[in-house]
Structure 1
Amino acid sequence: MAKNSKIEWTTHTFNPWWGCVKMSPACKFCYAESWSKRLGKNVWGINSERRLFGPKHWAEPLAWNRAALVTGERPRVFCASMADVFEDRRDLDGERAKLWELIGETAGLDWLLLTKRPDLACQLTPWGDNWPDNVWIGTTTEDQQWADHRLSSLARIPAKVRFISAEPLLGPVRLGPWSQYIHWVITGGESGPNARPSSPSWFRALLNECMAADIPFHFKQWGDWAPGQGLNLSKARHAAAADGTTMLRIGKKSAGRLLDGEQWNGLPKVDRG
C-alpha cells in the first residue's frame, strides 16, 4: 500500500503508522483492521500500540516528489489508508510532526488527509489559518447523521481542497448548505465478507446534487453488491436494498464501477495561483 495504489482516486498511499479506533458505523467492518490482523499486527483499539516505521519508509514520498518534479505531474498521496492522522493520542504527536515536515518537503505532491475526526484537524496541525496548498482534507460521511456531524467541522478548515468520502455509503446523504464548502465527492459501496448493500438511489441522488452544485463526483465502486436487474445469476445471493432494489452479491470485480452505464472519475480543480 504505497507507490502506484490500486485505489482509483489516488496515485500513491502513505501511512505514517498503522492502527486506529473505530468511530462510527462505517468502521464496523474495517478493511484496514482485517488486513492488519491477517498480518499478525495487533494495532486496533484504544489500548493497542500503533505500528511505526523507519527511515526507509519515510523516504518514499521524497522519491515520489523528485520524480514529480521531473515529469511535471502532480501525484495524489492518500494519507492514511491504515490509520487516521488525527487520532487524538499523545504518543503519535512525534510521528505527526514528522508527517507535517515531510509534507513541507514534498511540494510536488498533493497530500489527501482523509479523517473521521475533522474536529481535531486544526488542533493537531501546525498551520493555523495558512494550510499548505498541497494539502487536501476530507472526511467520511457514510450517512446523513455523520454528514451532519462532520461537515460543520470540515467546512471550517482552511484547506485548498475539502472533500468527502461517502464510502461505504450506508444511507442517503444530502450536502445541502454544506455543498458550498465541498470541492470533491467520492462515494462507493462496501466490499468484504460482511459487506452491506447500498441503495442505487443514494448514489444517484448524490450525483445529481453534485452536478447541480458543480462538484466533481467520483464513483469508486459498487462493492460486493450490484443491482440485479439484467443479470442472469440465479444462484447469486440477493438482498433488497433500502430503496427496494434487488441487489446481487457478485463480488467487487464483477460488480465494477459503472453507475448508470458510465464511469464517474471527477477530480477537483485546484487553483495554483
Structure 2
Amino acid sequence: MAKNSRIEWTTHTFNPWWGCVKVSPACKHCYAEAWAKRVGSRVWGVKAERRFFGDKHWAEPIKWNLAAAELGERPRVFCASMADVFEDRRDLDDARARLWELIVATPNLDWLLLTKRPEFVSKMVPWTNDWPPNIWLGTTVEDQKWAEERLPHLAEIPAAVRFISAEPLLGPLNISHWLSEHIDWVITGGESGPKARPSSPSWFLELLNQCMASEVAFHFKQWGDWAPGQGLNLAKARASRADDGTVMLRVGKKAAGRILDGAEWDGLPTARSS
C-alpha cells in the first residue's frame, strides 16, 4: 500500500493481498514478483500462499476517503499493484468480499481494478448491472492476441470507466473498433528492469492516433529502459532495433523519460455515470 503513489496514473495504491501467477507474456518480467522476492515474500506461483494484511492496513482507504471529502477531491486508488483481484483462488474469497465492502464504503475514492483475468470478473463481484460508480475496471492488453481475448470480456462489464493497460506494449495494437463505445482510457508504456524488452515507437504512435480519432483519453506512462536513439549521444549505451527499424538505446527508465511525439500525455477519462 502506498499513499501518494509514484505510479503516474494513480494517486494511491492499495493491496488486499500480495501474490499472483503469471498468465501471459506481459507477466514474464513481473516487477511485483521481483519486489516481493526482494523483501523476502515468496508469494508467486500456483502453490505459494498469498500474503494477507490486518485491520490497520484495511483502515487506510477509510482515512483517504474522509480526507477526500474534506478537500472536495477524488483520489484514484490502484488496486492491486502486487496481485490480481480476480485470480481464481478460493482462499482469496474472504479478502475479495471485504474489498467490495470497502469500495462501497469509500465513495469519494475512484478504485482502479486492473486484471489479466477479465473472464472471471462477473463471477466474483456481487453486482450485475448496478455497479458502484467509483469502480474503474481495466485489463492488460500487451499485443493484439491478448486484446482480442480479453476485451470482449471487459466490454460486457458496466463499470463507470473501462480502461486498458497496454504496458509493457509488446506488439502493434489495433483497438479502434473497441474505442469510444467500450473503452474510455488507454494507458501504455514500455518495459523497465534488467531484462526489459524494447517497444517500437510506431506502436505507441499508432495507439495515440487511434485514441485521438475516437476522442479517448490517452496516457503514455514511460518509454521504459529503452528509448529512441535519435538525438542521443551515448556511445556506451546498448543499442537495438525495434520492429519498425528505429534504433533504440538502453539508457534506463529515468533518462528515457516519457515524451512521445514531443509531448507528455496524461489523459484522464470521464466516468460514464457522470
Fold equivalence (TM over 0.5): yes
Alignment-mate amino acid for residue 247 of structure 1: M
Which residue matches 1:240?
A: 241
Supply the distance in 1 between the matched residues of 2:19 and 2:166 (Cα, whole angstroms).
Answer: 21
- Do the aligned residues in 1 keep the contact of 2:220 with 2:266 (CA within 8 Å)? yes
Give TM-score, length-normalised by structure 2.
0.98
C-alpha distance after superposition, 1:76-111 (max 9, x if no partner):
000000000000000000000000000010000000
Q: Cα distance, 1:115 vs. partner?
A: 0.2
- Do the aligned residues in 1 keep the contact of 2:184 with 2:216 (CA within 8 Å)? yes
Which residue matches 1:230?
A: 231
Q: Cα distance, 1:270 vs. partner?
A: 2.2
- Do the aligned residues in 1 keep the contact of 2:160 with 2:273 (CA within 8 Å)? no
Which residue matches 2:44?
A: 44
Q: Secondary structure at the match of 1:181?
A: coil
Q: Secondary structure at the match of 1:162?
A: strand
- Do the aligned residues in 1 keep the contact of 2:142 with 2:170 (CA within 8 Å)? yes
Equivalent residues, number: 273
Q: Cα distance, 1:271 vs. partner?
A: 4.8
Which residue matches 1:219?
A: 220
Q: How does 1:178-197 map to 2 (within 5 A)?
A: 178-179=178-179, 180-197=181-198
Which residue matches 1:250?
A: 251
Alignment-mate amino acid for residue 96 of structure 2: R
Supply the distance in 1 between the matched residues of 2:177 and 2:125 (Cα, whole angstroms).
Answer: 26
Q: Secondary structure at the match of 2:52?
A: coil
Which residue matches 1:83?
A: 83
Supply the distance in 1 between the matched residues of 2:135 and 2:272 (Cα, whole angstroms).
Answer: 13
Q: Secondary structure at the match of 1:43?
A: coil
- The runs of 5 or more residues in structure 1 that have no matched partner are none
Alignment-mate amino acid for residue 121 of structure 1: V
- Do the aligned residues in 1 keep the contact of 2:167 with 2:189 (CA within 8 Å)? yes
C-alpha distance after superposition, 1:61-85 (max 9, x if no partner):
0000000000000000000000000
Supply the distance in 2 between the matched residues of 1:13 and 1:5 (Cα, whole angstroms).
Answer: 6
Which residue matches 2:162?
A: 162
Supply the distance in 1 between the matched residues of 2:146 and 2:220 (Cα, whole angstroms).
Answer: 19
Alignment-mate amino acid for residue 191 of structure 2: E
Q: Cα distance, 1:272 vs. partner?
A: 5.0
Give TM-score, length-normalised by structure 1.
0.99
C-alpha distance after superposition, 1:245-272 (max 9, x if no partner):
1000000000000001100000001255
Alignment-mate amino acid for residue 34 of structure 1: A
Which residue matches 2:145?
A: 145
Supply the distance in 1 between the matched residues of 2:261 and 2:102 (Cα, whole angstroms).
Answer: 41
Alignment-mate amino acid for residue 234 of structure 1: A
Q: Secondary structure at the match of 1:178?
A: coil
Q: Cα distance, 1:168 vs. partner?
A: 0.2
Supply the distance in 1 between the matched residues of 2:51 and 2:128 (Cα, whole angstroms).
Answer: 28
Q: Cα distance, 1:176 vs. partner?
A: 3.0
Alignment-mate amino acid for residue 144 of structure 1: Q
| Structure 1: 4+ residue segments shifted above 3 A | none
Greater displacement, 164-173 / 263-272: 263-272
Q: Cα distance, 1:128 vs. partner?
A: 1.1
